[in-house]
Amino acid sequence: MNAEKTRNDTRRAEEAELLSPNRTPRAVRKKPNQGLMRLLRAAMLLMGGMILVFGLLLIVLPIFKVSQVEVAGNSFYTAEQLAEASGIEVGDELLAVDMQDAVNRILKACPNVAKVSIGVSFPFGITITVEERTDVMYTEYNGKHISLDRSFRVLEMIDSGETRFSPFLYVQLPKIASVSVGGKIVFADAAADLTYVGTLLDFLKEKELLADVTEVDFSERFSVSYTLQGRCRVELGSVSALDTKLLLVNEILNSKGGIDAAYAVIDVSDTQKPTYRVVDASELSDFSAFIAV
């Protein structure tokens, strides 16, 4: 009886509390923000993936080693020289190779290279492709041979006894005051107009003769000459009327049996009175002293 009375009293008290205006409402539980939860899950998955990839790289990276270094496009420099200049060696970690640094190394160590590209060849090889300069010449100064480009910038300097520059065109230039590797030649006459050098070289290239020219004497502006195949010197005088002078040279060579017929000098400085003369060995050294170097 007492228990039932107690339950009734408790129920009546709860009902009175619910009806009371001073009742404190119970806190309502909010649902979690679903968008935020999705974002957190995605971030956790991303971090887990990054950790997994990083761990795999630590395991796999040492497996990718450079297996070989190949070189293409070279003629003046050997493949060994270019590979050594790049700093890339067989056994280096492939993914750690700094391609741009290797390009810069080659351009610095091999000044006769105009362009370099480096790529990965299947499966783990490195291919270095170079484009060498086609406008390189060389001359002699103070017992040294110096290679230079069309702007008279000095590329390299070697002892005159070396033969590395022999594939290049030998030129005699106006009197030189000083040279420095990487800088332009300083001529004794700083105000000298040397545009005639480019004029003749462009003409010979246009006429597809440059490959047969072994020497050009630019030492005097109005006494320019070039030598064909080390056998025939063509004296132009100035670089004017070049088409007419070339026509005369071809006519004379055809009438004399060609370049191989004899060592000779053709003078077309006066287009009205061109001359041809055969020279002996003693005169040959006057204009071909550097051909065999």
Show me where the domains of the chain are located: 63-132, 137-288
CATH 3.20.20.70 fits 63-132, yes or no: no
pLDDT (0 to 100) of residue 84: 95
The fold for domain 137-288 equals Rossmann fold (3.40.50)
| Each residue's pLDDT tens digit, 112-170 | 999 999 998 887 889 999 999 988 999 999 999 999 999 999 999 999 878 889 889 99
Question: Is the previous residue joined to 123 through a cis bond, with omega within 30 degrees of 0?
Answer: yes
pLDDT (0 to 100) of residue 97: 87
Q: Please name the residues in contact with 99: beta carbons below 8 A apart, sequence gap of 6 or more.
A: 118, 119
| Each residue's pLDDT tens digit, 257-267 | 998 888 999 99
Taking the model in full, what pTM does it have?
0.70
Decide: 109 and 167 in contact? Cβ < 8 Å.
no
